A and B are shown apart, each in its own frame.
Chain A
Amino acid sequence: MVRWQHGLWLFFLPSFGLLAVVLLWPLGYAVYLSFFDYYLGSGERTFVGLANYIDLLTEARLWNSMWTTIIIAFGSVALEFLVGFALALALYRLNGSAKVFSVLLFLPHIVTPVVAALFLKWMLASNWGFIDATLLTFNIEPADWLGSPVWAKVSVILADAWVFTPLVMMVLYAALQGLDTSLLEAAQIDGASSWNTLRHVIIPALIPAIIFVISIRLMDVFRFFDLIYVLTGGGPGTATETITMYTYQLGFRMLEVGKASALGVITLIVVAILLLTINRGLNKAYRGGDR
């Protein structure tokens, strides 16, 4: 047991003060504003209680953006996890010169998301973009990557995966480095195939890292904004309008600050519930033995 000395909490004050100013105060203020009808154009605030929440929860646009967010979030995190994990395993098997390779794989993540999005937008531009131009030389009719509701979602998912897969790869690769190799050797002697070793030895050992990386990616992707803003602007129509895009529209386009705050609070609650559920699920799988 660590024994805490009296007066030690004084050291905690500066960082707590900083957190309070930059984190708790804005959060509290957003919660406060969410109970007001506050149109930025008029500058008038009227207390409306839960009206903003009721409005939002009863309109289709919120549910639509919620679904879009969930599809994009789970789609891209799943893709990032699968590809990132596969790359991490491949990298773990390689050695020496492979370390240079890993830096190259990390490049997309070093680029600022907005810049990455601009780059991808040019790649995906119809007719003269890199992808279309390539496909057209083979006489393949390209899809409307950013213009059709379905392809726009796919493009956004792929774009997010392109930027964030390297992060997932690095986290899992680092975790693999910490793996006790004698466990793998024991599994080899025990007669476990590569697949069984992965399933019964490697993945269980990586659960803490997996929980970490999936959690931060989900948190991040629920706040997903810059890539979508540049690539599709939420369109076509509202096909790629995520909760954050909708919040942005409410707050900065329609200037409905109260309603936007309420949506922010709803998002916070949804993400918190989601993360706790996933965390608990993975932890249970980890602690619950191996069957």
Chain B
Amino acid sequence: MAPLTIQQATKSFGEVQVLHGIDISIDDGEFVVLVGPSGCGKSTLLRLIAGLEDISTGSILIDGRDISRSHPKDRDIAMVFQSYALYPHMTVAENMGFSLRMRGATMDEQHRKVHEAAGILDLEPLLDRYPRQLSGGQRQRVAMGRAIVRDPKVFLFDEPLSNLDAKLRVQMRAEIRSLHKSLETTIVYVTHDQIEAMTMADKIVVMRGGYVEQIGSPMAVYDAPANVFVAGFIGSPAMNLLKGRIGSDRQSFDLDAGGVLQFDSVLNARPHQPVILGVRPEYVKISDGGSAAVVKLIEPTGADLHVMLDIAGTKLTAVYHERLTLEEGQEVRLAIPTDHVHLFDPENETRIVGN
């Protein structure tokens, strides 16, 4: 258990700079998820924290101690790898006890700690098995067990659920979450799956192209994305992002592709100002009055209804929890609550706050 601070961290591989001045401060016991598309530098950042890559400039502090140049084993961290990285010729117990053994712990201590961790993760019956005899989910748990045995200050997870099937992933998500609750250890967790990020994190760090785009609680990031990238990346189905201009009465929005969206109160921007207007699919409501649209495609997912709408050539996705009786080709009227509209500057794609 310890706070983790990353200050102005950069990383270059030869000429290519993959991380640009990363600043993140993580509180003691916080569950932080680094999320972003592949190639955004999230895994590299995790490997910098682990010490598997050398930091180029900047520093990383665990519990106030600068560990940016320490050997991985001296950083008091434990890591769960995407491929689990279990030693194939060792039993589950040997795998879990390996770090203790390398540190010269007595057999008694190894035995006690391995059984302790195995108890937490229900691994007791598997201790004498080899990794090849385990299912994917069990291997995943062993990999976590190996990390727990270390009793580290910080846990690092590198896309640990990406090799599991969808059902198991949901189950392990909850398990990791409850494990964090009981251990109260600082966790840095890397994923490209924004659902994982939303459901598990205390704090999300959204990354792109080696830069941090936004840091905040899942709901804060969801409700107030800092820029167009975050707006489009977090949330599924993705936020509708429409290019156009604010109307002269500030209660309408003229789409660049043609067509108009009507609102019931004023938008938070100047008349005729060019903006990117963002609205989450769940706030595209069907009403008696408002903007005209045509239903193009209906996708029932069981719980929800995903509807693709068309406003004079511009596509708009809507999600309804009610079972609406819609037909493809049907004309509808849309009402979008103004307080759920996000406005972004089309120049630098950042959020427009106030006026």
Which of A's residues lie within 8 Å of B, judged by CB?
180, 182-183, 185-193, 196, 200-201, 204-205, 207, 286-287, 289-291
Chain B residues near A201: list those with CB within 8 A. 87
Given A188-B72, A189-B73, A189-B79, are A200 and B88 also a contact pair (CB < 8 Å)?
A: no
Contact present for A204 and B88 (CB under 8 Å): yes
| Assembled-state Cα–Cα distance A185/B102 (Å) | 14
| Assembled-state Cα–Cα distance A186/B50 (Å) | 10
Contact present for B89 and A287 (CB under 8 Å): yes
Which of B's residues lie within 8 Å of A, judged by CB?
50-52, 71-73, 77-79, 81-83, 85, 87-91, 94, 98-99, 102-103, 146, 150
B40 to chain A, nearest CB (A): 20
| Assembled-state Cα–Cα distance A186/B99 (Å) | 9
Q: In chain A, what residue has the closest Cβ to B143?
A: A186
Q: In chain B, what residue has the closest Cβ to A290?
A: B90
Number of A-B contacts (CB under 8 A): 71
B200 to chain A, nearest CB (A): 22
Contact present for B87 and A189 (CB under 8 Å): no
| Assembled-state Cα–Cα distance A187/B102 (Å) | 9
Contact present for A289 and B94 (CB under 8 Å): yes
Contact present for B89 and A188 (CB under 8 Å): no
Pick the contact of A182 from B83, B88, B98, B146 — CB < 8 Å? B83
Contact present for A200 and B78 (CB under 8 Å): no
Contact present for A186 and B90 (CB under 8 Å): no
Chain B residues near A185: list those with CB within 8 A. 50, 52, 72, 79, 81, 85
A286 to chain B, nearest CB (A): 6
Which DSSP category, helix, strand, loop or mixed, fits chain A's interface?
helix
Given A200-B98, A289-B94, are A189 and B72 also a contact pair (CB < 8 Å)?
A: yes
Contact present for B102 and A192 (CB under 8 Å): yes
Q: In chain B, what residue has the closest Cβ to A192?
A: B102
Contact present for A190 and B99 (CB under 8 Å): yes
| Assembled-state Cα–Cα distance A185/B143 (Å) | 13
Contact present for B52 and A188 (CB under 8 Å): yes
A76 to chain B, nearest CB (A): 28
| Assembled-state Cα–Cα distance A10/B273 (Å) | 80
A–B pairs, 18, beta carbons within 8 Å: A180-B85, A182-B81, A186-B85, A187-B98, A189-B52, A189-B72, A189-B78, A190-B73, A190-B98, A190-B146, A190-B150, A192-B73, A204-B87, A205-B89, A287-B89, A290-B87, A290-B89, A290-B94
Pick the contact of A189 from B77, B82, B83 — CB < 8 Å? B77
B38 to chain A, nearest CB (A): 17
Given A189-B72, A189-B73, A289-B94, are A183 and B87 also a contact pair (CB < 8 Å)?
A: yes
Chain B residues near A287: list those with CB within 8 A. 89
Chain B residues near A196: list those with CB within 8 A. 102
A188 to chain B, nearest CB (A): 5
Chain A residues near B88: list those with CB within 8 A. 204-205
Given A188-B72, A190-B73, A289-B94, are A200 and B81 also a contact pair (CB < 8 Å)?
A: no
Q: In chain B, what residue has the closest Cβ to A286?
A: B89
| Assembled-state Cα–Cα distance A241/B293 (Å) | 95
B153 to chain A, nearest CB (A): 13
Chain B residues near A204: list those with CB within 8 A. 87-89
